[in-house]
Amino acid sequence: MTLTLDVQQAAAREWFEALRDRICAEFEAIEREAGSDASFDYLAWDRTDHDGSPGGGGVRGVMKGKVFEKVGVNVSTVGGAFNPDFAQTIHGAAEDPSFFATGISLVAHMANPHVPAVHMNTRFLATTKRWFGGGADLNPPIVYDEDTEEFHARLRAACAPYGPDVYERYKKWADDYFWIPHRQVHRGVGGIFYDHLECENDTMFDRNFAFTRDVGEAFLDIFPKIVRKRMGMEYSETEKQAQRIWRGRYAEFNLVYDRGTTFGLKTGGNVDAILMSLPPEVVWE
């Protein structure tokens, strides 16, 4: 299971695991505030590379509670070699299929339809190139402009030190990426999405790693505030049913278009961890 990591790889893995611990602790604190004793169940998994050698692994964390109907917070650190066909689709892997990847992936589906669902993912990959990617986006069944503005404002603040156009570029990237073509709708109210922030030297690694950490900190700062603001609101069965229908769109995107889902399945990841993003209860009408 153990992979030999260099300094950059180890630093990225350590950060993602530490962020996982802080996020899970905050989400459990919210459950306590709601009078629930729900907590995360963790399941470690090992990955075997296609040639039978150890390929790393990860930990799947899932909690089902009073506020969080289902939330998954996963971390993984994997490595080995892509199969030749899939390698052609990965940045820097066409010439050499060897790879390393570490990251955190989070999806929260909320019990109260007034509380937005959310997705957050940040990662570090190495092929013949090294880069960071990730982002966060808000997915409310019932849209509150105030929540949308607060979420985007916090992400804008995280982007600001890295250039005057960074937020707008990554916001547009999210708007373009989280689009469901066959429905002609966006998955939610957006956020930011970025990829291929290349680390050609230590200076670039430090800058892009700092940005990725700031994205994680921004998420941990703003999302719990939105949850606490909405989680006590009353809702009707009509609103709950509307949430179930909306969740169908979310599931369609993740199963048909999401690159992270494809990456996990193509690299032999843990299926339950990969599909933890799917909502607990959903309908199609």
Show which residues are catalytic.
119
Helix (H/G/I), strand (E/B), else coil: 203: helix
Instruction: Indicate the DSSP class of residue 47.
Output: E
Q: Between the CA of residue 229 and those of 73, 128, 161, 234, what are the distances in Å?
A: 22, 45, 28, 12
Residue with tokens 């790393």: 56
- Is residue 55 within 8 A of residue 269, CB to CB? The reply is no
- Separation CA 163–CA 101 (nearest Å): 27
Q: Which pairs count as long-range contacts for 277-282, CB under 8 Å and 24+ apart, including other chains? A: 277/72, 277/105, 277/107, 277/119, 278/251, 278/254, 279/70, 279/109, 279/117, 279/247, 279/250, 279/251, 280/64, 280/69, 280/70, 280/109, 281/69, 281/244, 281/247, 282/244, 282/247, 282/248, 282/251
- Separation CA 139–CA 148 (nearest Å): 9
